Amino acid sequence: MIQKIKDNIYWIGVNDYAIRNFHGYLTPMGSTYNAYLVIDEQITVIDSVKAPFTPLFLDNIKQLTGFDKIDNIISNHAEPDHSGSLPELARLAPQAKIYATANGAKIIKAYHGMDNINIVQPGQTLRLGATSLQFLPAPMVHWPDSMASYMPELKILFSNDAFGQHIASEYRFDDQLGMAVLDERTRDYYANIVLPFGMQVQKLLEQVGKLDIDVICPSHGIMWRTHIDDIVSRYQSWSHNETDPKKTVIAYDTMWKTTEMLAQRLADEAQSRGETVTLLNMADTHVSTAITAMLEAQRIAIGSPTLNRNVMATIGGLLTYVKGLAPKNRTGIAFGSYGWSGESVGIIEQAMDDMSWQREDSVKVNWRP
């Protein structure tokens, strides 16, 4: 359902209630693909939606204006969850000028075969009438083409992937759902999508800090109008890899419970020091849940028995996933049991060293602690 944000500014996105796996990351509350419509002297669509939702998206537009009235289409980001409907919209509104960054134009051509894109420059302003859009490229938040668009007259930041959350809901604003719900979804979104790009997030935050903002309109989830300071300060903290020295995550798998005995012992010791411990058996835990638990944890222990001269596949997957997202400035502890060859602890140590984590003494036990 369409949502008015301010006079002549509308949310025209769609809810995806069914999605539970967003390119490898679990989304227990589904997601939305947000797009926006500005009705001014020049009518402008900002972003589109994932391809299967094209009919709903087009119907939202039709309720507010005719396709032949659209003057501009802004593509803040060409990942298919935001550009999937672009070809059909462009076909229905051939007169509309499409705007994207230079990288966006390349990706739109590669994905959709479209080459009629107007390339925007950092800080360039597109006047729409009483309102305007200033383009703020934010490369690698989340892809090389990513940008935000700012409307100074109404103090609206269309932030694209930044500040998003994967939540499908009939509610559209932060104060309607409340931070109790948003807390975990902002956390898992940052940990699984944004975490590798801390420096690029800081550059975006530097630009955002200079803006007067009433509403942040991201490309997923609810819009921020009440808790703007909260979400911006979370991004400040996470992008600087700030951690809680009292938070410990212990992630492991086990064959005959001996590595599990080590995990439990590490948990008991951490708890006796007053730390909050998250103990995750990776046989039953998705990697995206584990990295969310790690987002603010200073100490991260990873354990596996040796299996066929390697770690267990669950731990191999975890190490691959964590190394890709590369949380920084952590303290790692490798642990595991073995019978004869005993490679697992060394493999975990190497992964931690590859991420430049400090390491505490590893725990490697023959047969049984």
- Which residues bind to ligand FEO, rule: CB under 6 A? 77, 79, 81-82, 142-143, 161, 219-220
Asked if 227 is an active-site residue, the reply is no
Residue 99 or 143: which CB sits closer to ligand FEO?
143
Asked if 240 is an active-site residue, the reply is no
Handedness of CA 42, 220, 321, 83 (dihedral sign): negative
- The residue annotated as part of the active site, out of 189, 235, 252, 338, is 189
216 Cβ contact list (under 8 Å, min separation 6):
156, 157, 159, 163, 223, 224, 225, 228, 231
* Cβ 46 to ligand FEO shortest distance, Å: 14
The pair of three-digit structure tokens given for residue 167, joined into one six-digit string: 């939540």
Give the whole-angstrom CA distance, residue 123 versus residue 186.
Answer: 28
Residue 71 or 79: which CB sits closer to ligand FEO?
79
Q: Where are the alpha helices (DSSP H) in 216-330?
A: 228-239, 258-272, 287-294, 313-325
Residue 81 or 253: which CB sits closer to ligand FEO?
81
Residue 235 or 338: which CB sits closer to ligand FEO?
235
Cβ 165 vs Cβ 226: under 8 Å: no
- What stretch of H or E contains 188? helix 179-189
- The residue annotated as part of the active site, out of 220, 260, 286, 296, is 220
- Return the axis-axis angle of helices 179-189 and 287-294, rounded to nearest 10°: 110
| Unique residue bearing structure tokens 């996470």 | 238
Q: Alpha carbon of 192 to those of 46, 69, 239, 242, 332: distances in Å?
A: 25, 39, 13, 16, 20
Residue 168 or 267: which CB sits closer to ligand FEO?
168
Asked if 112 is an active-site residue, the reply is no
Asked if 189 is an active-site residue, the reply is yes
- The residue annotated as part of the active site, out of 81, 174, 188, 296, is 81
Asked if 269 is an active-site residue, the reply is no
Residue 143 or 150: which CB sits closer to ligand FEO?
143
Asked if 23 is an active-site residue, the reply is yes
Asked if 111 is an active-site residue, the reply is no
The pair of three-digit structure tokens given for residue 64, joined into one six-digit string: 């507010």
- What stretch of H or E contains 103? helix 102-112
DSSP, res 75: -
Closest listed residue to residue 175, CA positions, set 214, 225, 212, 219: 225
Residues 170-189 as b/e (b if ≥16 CB within 10 A, e otherwise) read eebbbeebeeebbeebbbbb
* Cβ 202 to ligand FEO shortest distance, Å: 18
Residue 220 or 299: which CB sits closer to ligand FEO?
220
CA angle in degrees (0–180, nearest 5) for 220-186-291: 115
- The residue number whose beta carbon is nearest to ligand FEO equals 79
- The residue annotated as part of the active site, out of 47, 71, 161, 188, is 161
- The residue annotated as part of the active site, out of 142, 166, 227, 286, is 142
* Cβ 141 to ligand FEO shortest distance, Å: 9
3-state DSSP call for residue 318?
helix
Asked if 142 is an active-site residue, the reply is yes
* Cβ 357 to ligand FEO shortest distance, Å: 27
Cβ 17 vs Cβ 30: under 8 Å: yes
The set of catalytic residues is 23, 77, 79, 81, 142, 161, 189, 220
